[in-house]
Homo-oligomer: A and B are copies of this chain.
């Protein structure tokens, strides 16, 4: 049986980033760049005032109260009409280009006007370069501003906007079908009969997909009946990813692995040495395609995850395995789950030979990052996750922890 780490490597071996698409800049938040972007201009594009005030020559100011002749005014969006010579000043607004001859800007609050055409500088000295920024200081034309694979946040979007990139080449969001299986399931809007429960996994998985950057396509409930399951699997395989929940254990009606095989999906692994989530299944449908490398956006393959039906197992397997696949499909540089280190808030006896992911509450305590394990009634106990915002990770061997010991944590 694979370890979690081996399973993650197996997934990454099978997954490539989706084909690039052109996207309006305003719609690209959270996506990743498919190609590097170089600057088409210096930033700032001209020597620029950072304050409202007067553009002057710093060498002119040798004592408090120096008076200068105002020879010009320049507002943002305009250009100076003349240079500033010794004994002169130009009234200037934040963001306006500074005139030739100038090496400093004095804030308006540090000046007084004298009559209609003179200004008194109150300070006894000014420093060269004060309150101005030179052309190209923060970025040079031709410089690589953002590398391929960069995730686009507000500040990256602003940098691209400054560069005039109204459209950007990004990785698509994967489309992901969600198919819950099981005769015990009824839709959320119905009242369960004896032995039945509502299909909460579809809602949960769709939300996890959305949060991870995919596009969820809920398909509803497939019965534990081969013909029915087969039809819905065919629908789901039209997407970049098909997530099934339930039907992957050792039970008599666990038809998912055999029906996936029949549909041509190659099994990569079945079962991982993890708790919860041991029965998790992963495979790939490879399509013959006329287009090369899917660069036209056509799909060459579909990744298929069979997640356990118990909600906590399903949730944990999603966070470990499916999120990793989504991040790689979406072009993120670090696809695997990131662990951080936090102190256990209480003692804990870990007694399992599987790597264990325990619902936990992470917080910033006075002593730094701390983690408290949730009361947990097993893998069907979704309620244990209501106050959890993380998973604490325990190794594939028994360990007794004292309060204050460090453990690895994956934040949700």
Binding site for B on A (CB under 8 A): 25-26, 29, 41, 43-46, 48, 50-52, 73-79, 91, 93-97, 108-109, 133, 137-139, 145-146, 153-166, 182-185, 188-192, 194-208, 210-211, 218, 224, 246, 249-254, 309-311, 315, 340-341, 364, 368-369, 377-386, 388, 412
Contacts and interface: CB of A to CB of B under 8 A. Distances in A.
Contact of A369 (B51, B162, B368, B377): B368
Contacts of A52: 249-252, 254
Contacts of A45: 192, 196-197
30 contacts: A25-B188, A25-B203, A29-B211, A43-B382, A50-B310, A52-B251, A52-B252, A76-B183, A76-B184, A76-B309, A77-B196, A78-B183, A91-B252, A94-B251, A95-B380, A109-B250, A133-B377, A138-B382, A138-B383, A145-B386, A154-B315, A156-B386, A158-B204, A158-B311, A159-B382, A159-B386, A161-B198, A161-B204, A162-B197, A368-B369
Contacts of A46: 194-195
Contacts of A309: 76, 94-95
Given A48-B380, A192-B45, A204 B157 contact: yes
Nearest to A365: B341
Given A26-B218, A162-B382, A251-B93, A207 B377 contact: no
Contacts of A77: 182-185, 195-196, 224
